[in-house]
Amino acid sequence: MYQLIQSVLHDREETRALHQVIAALIAAEDGVTEQMSARHYFLHNDILRCFEAGCQQQQKPAHFYHSSAIGRLIHCTHELILEGDDVWFVLRPWIGSQQIWRFDRDLTTPTLMTPSALLDARDRWVGRYQPNLVELDLSSFYKNEPSISDPRSIGQGVAFLNRYLAHQVSDNPQYWLQTTYDVLSHQVCDGIPLMLNDRIQSGEELVQQVKAAIKFLGTRSRHEAYELSHPEMQALGFEPGWGNSAGRAQETLELLDYFITTPEPAILEAFVARFPSVFRVTLVSIHGWIGQQNVVLGRPETLGQVVYVLEQARALEKALHEEIRLAGLEFLGIQPHIVILTRLIPNCEGTQCELPVEQVDGTQNAWILRVPFREFNPKVTENWISKFEIAPYLEPFAIDAEAALVKHLGGRPNLIIGNYSDGNLVAFLLSRRLNVTHCNIAHVLEKPKHLFSNLYWHELEPQYHFSSQFTADLISMNAADFVVTSSYQEIVGTPDTLGQYESYKHFTMPGLYHVLDGVDLFSPKFNRIPPGVDEAVFFPYSDKQKRSNESGIWLNELVFVQEEERILGKLDDPTKRPILSLAPITVSKNLTGLVQCFAEHPELQARCNLILVTNKLQVDEAASAEEAEQIQKLHGLIERHQLHGKIRWVGIRLSVRDMGEMYRVIADRRGIFIHFALFEAFGRTILEAMVSGLPTFATEFGGPAEIIEDDKYGFLINPTNYSDATRKMIEFLDRCDADPSYWQEVSDRGIQRVHDDYTWQLHTKQLLLSTKLYSFWNYLHRNDRESLLRYLELIFHLIFKPRAATILENHMSRER
């Protein structure tokens, strides 16, 4: 970046343009947020907008904006802070990297600065500078770890580790031969050896016996059950676990033999995938209502997570049944055991969330295990507790849950998967105590979701308690053996936006601590493993045999005809093409923006009806001030623009099965689905709509950009640019009118996209492979991780627990 900066500063025209951008930003401060006004702190979009306006005003050629030195500098400037006589530039020259440069106000003396200096400047900006603040730096713990070099490979940790380990085996074959023997000889389930017995005592003996076993199995019929060969194989030193037939066991042994002699990544992955090492899995999801009968899944803030966990549990049990069968372990009586660990809620409002144990529907051995919070103040702990106020109960819960979990499983789990900040912290505590592989799934990280939430944590603390939440995130994402994300952007964003995990790289909690390096984005622990959809619920509208006629008739009446207090609007022409939006009422889902966009474009109103399906309709139903404000805005927009005959707002919480049929009902009428969120971490409803056959228009900000290739599997839109979003919808309608088969083409491509890349079968296959590989990796590096885990325990005890204690103090004084 130094050469680029010098190029700008040594060109008079470009230096003048840079001064003009800064002057324009200051002049435009009346138009930015109140927090930023007159405080001289500017973000990427503000900077780009001012530069673009200046280029247009000065009639600069296009290359000046895009490819001149100043154009390239402005495009990678993500923050600009004016402080006295200094100008701070936070540059992001490429994905996953940051550089900090400080200039004097005349832009003549650039100085490369440290993250610590920038964090001090940010503290001064909010008026909370404090010298000698605690500094957290985790970079040293990753220095001796293998690191991904190409940003395009971030999120492909398993593939990277396969290549790395194969290379290591080539360099030191004798060490790795003995290590492989050690790992195989330690594979047991409830004391039953699964791979090797004591007839094989070393790596050298393993090589000899593998060849003998391959030769022996070659004399048997490939389809012969392994049990028939078991006595002879046991005499050679091999236990069940290599395969359910002579042919499969021979294949597995040949993979091991090939890997020992010709270590290649593909062979290692194929062998590890067959490793019978995962039988008991615990999914930790603390704060949601997790139930199946007489219960609305989760609360609005946790609905997606609860659906994800239930579907993942079913898919994992199915996948493990198949793995155990193929490994030949059924005749030993080994079965998968899945537990969703959550809290028991005494005041469960008529649901079954007070039951200690409940079987997951559609499974043989997957269970919801509910452990109550310790009482403290029962007026708080006997009720549902928001994710923002749950921190004080997590450590006691983990201690109590450990005993309940081990008793229920009949032993330790092989894998613990944390969900969200609180679930991941409990997963960290449990995995630390039980010495179990820990997988971190965040779903969404709150810090990047709320602009300046870390800088203004003092002001936001009474409502959100971000200090404990962000600290929990920092601990768990580093403690986890591996991290699963749904999208690449979740990790490192795009050239124009920071990733959610990337936002934890350098940040300040003014007056509390500085994070100089909070996460290694190039660590192979990150893996992009997107979820699937429940194909028993979400399937194409054309699959008539699977559909419920009764549900379809009811939903048609509900959406297009029926009049009742939970529905707003009566359509003037119900035959017009429907535009469906199905979402909770939050600022980020931007339903108010969608209604405003629809109201501003008469052509769209003339050709389509807008169908909103939400969980609530009236202000008095709102669970928060934010939700009440959004509901009120929606009512105001509909009244102001007189949309009652063109819009239907269904404020009913539908069951999951009814949601599936809702998509299909809209597809029957050749409708479309629109996801108008300002930002979406992934977008499960997008998958649900696409696999149901609905052509889908989705926000270009976040994970949807990875699901949808624009104008192929669907359409990406900018929800802040109403004219452009509408243009895309009108163009689609015109093409459908010109070619009646076009709607079907887009529908079919969307269905195929989901079937090819977004299924629970693919998800569980990659998740289990990751578990096995990282368990193997951590067996080799368990001593290296100990120092990191002890450092994180210090953060937990010295920072997290005192912050959580302040929440508990407030809870203890509550009367209701």
Each residue's pLDDT tens digit, 212-241 = 999 999 999 999 999 999 999 999 999 999
> Residue 34: is its pLDDT beyond 60?
no
Q: In a 3-state reduction of DSSP, which class is residue 566? A: coil
Q: What is the pLDDT, as a whole number, of residue 45?
A: 86
CATH 3.40.50.2000 placement within the chain: 280-532+762-812, 544-758
Pure H helices in 202-335: 203-217, 226-236, 246-261, 265-273, 303-327
Number of residues that this document lists for the chain: 816
State the burial class of residue 538 (Cβ atoms within 10 Å of its Cβ: 0-12, 13-18, 19+): buried
Note the pLDDT tens digit of each residue in 455-494.
999 999 999 999 999 999 999 999 999 999 999 999 998 8
Q: How far apart are CA 320 and CA 768, in angstroms?
A: 9
**Under CATH, to which class is 544-758 assigned?**
alpha beta
For the chain, percent of residues with pLDDT exceeding 70: 97
* Structural contact between residues 673 and 580, judged by C-beta atoms closer than 8 angstroms: yes
* Structural contact between residues 120 and 129, judged by C-beta atoms closer than 8 angstroms: yes
* Structural contact between residues 328 and 244, judged by C-beta atoms closer than 8 angstroms: yes
Q: What is the mean pLDDT of the chain?
A: 92
37 pLDDT tier (thresholds 50, 70, 90): very low
Note the pLDDT tens digit of each residue in 595-645.
999 999 999 999 999 999 998 999 998 878 888 999 999 999 999 999 999
Write out the E strands in 394-476.
Answer: 415-419, 437-441
Q: How far apart are CA 110 and CA 658, in angstroms?
A: 60
32 pLDDT tier (thresholds 50, 70, 90): very low
> Residue 304: is its pLDDT beyond 80?
no
Place of tokens 């020992």: 260
Residue at 85: amino acid letter = D
Mean pLDDT of 380-390: 93
Place of tokens 């984005």: 521
Q: How far apart are CA 95 and CA 150, in angstroms?
A: 10
Q: What is the pLDDT, as a whole number, of residue 173?
A: 87
Mean pLDDT of 414-428: 97
Mean pLDDT of 556-580: 93
Residues near 620 by Cβ (< 8 Å), separated by ≥ 6? none
* Structural contact between residues 109 and 101, judged by C-beta atoms closer than 8 angstroms: no
Note the pLDDT tens digit of each residue in 704-759.
999 999 999 999 999 999 999 999 999 999 999 999 899 999 999 999 999 999 99
**What CATH number does domain 2-113 carry, 3.10.450, 1.20.950, 3.60.21, 1.25.40?**
3.10.450
CATH 3.10.450 placement within the chain: 2-113
* Structural contact between residues 446 and 474, judged by C-beta atoms closer than 8 angstroms: no
State the burial class of residue 688 (Cβ atoms within 10 Å of its Cβ: 0-12, 13-18, 19+): buried
Mean pLDDT of 370-382: 94
Q: What is the pLDDT, as a whole number, of residue 783?
A: 67
Q: What is the pLDDT, as a whole number, of residue 300?
A: 60
CATH number at 280-532+762-812: 3.40.50.2000
> Residue 31: is its pLDDT beyond 60?
no
Tokens for 59, please give them.
């009639």
Our CA angle for 547, 549, 552, nearest 5°, is 85
Q: What is the pLDDT, as a whole number, of residue 35?
A: 45
**What CATH number does domain 153-273 carry, 3.40.50.300, 2.40.50.140, 1.20.120.1230, 3.90.50.10?**
1.20.120.1230
Note the pLDDT tens digit of each residue in 519-538.
999 999 999 999 999 898 99
Note the pLDDT tens digit of each residue in 451-464.
899 999 999 999 99
> Residue 99: is its pLDDT beyond 50?
yes
Q: What is the pLDDT, as a whole number, of residue 750?
A: 96
Instruction: Give whole-number Cα distances, 795 to 137, 245, 453, 520, in Å.
Output: 11, 50, 20, 17
36 pLDDT tier (thresholds 50, 70, 90): very low
Instruction: Give whole-number Cα distances, 471 to 373, 456, 480, in Å.
Output: 21, 15, 14
Q: How far apart are CA 555 and CA 573, in angstroms?
A: 17
Tokens for 314, please give them.
């079913």
Secondary element (H or E) of residue 812: helix 801-812
For the chain, percent of residues with pLDDT exceeding 90: 76
Picking from 12, 10, 14, 13, the residue whose alpha carbon sits closest to that of residue 73 is 14
Q: What is the pLDDT, as a whole number, of residue 691?
A: 97
Q: How far apart are CA 17 and CA 516, in angstroms?
A: 33
Tokens for 269, please give them.
């992955």
Tokens for 597, please give them.
């966009």
Indicate the pTM of the whole model.
0.92
Pairing of strands 608-614, 437-441: unpaired
Residues near 538 by Cβ (< 8 Å), separated by ≥ 6? 660, 663, 687, 688, 691, 692
Mean pLDDT of 386-402: 96
Place of tokens 């330690």: 186
Write out the E strands in 597-653.
Answer: 608-614, 647-651
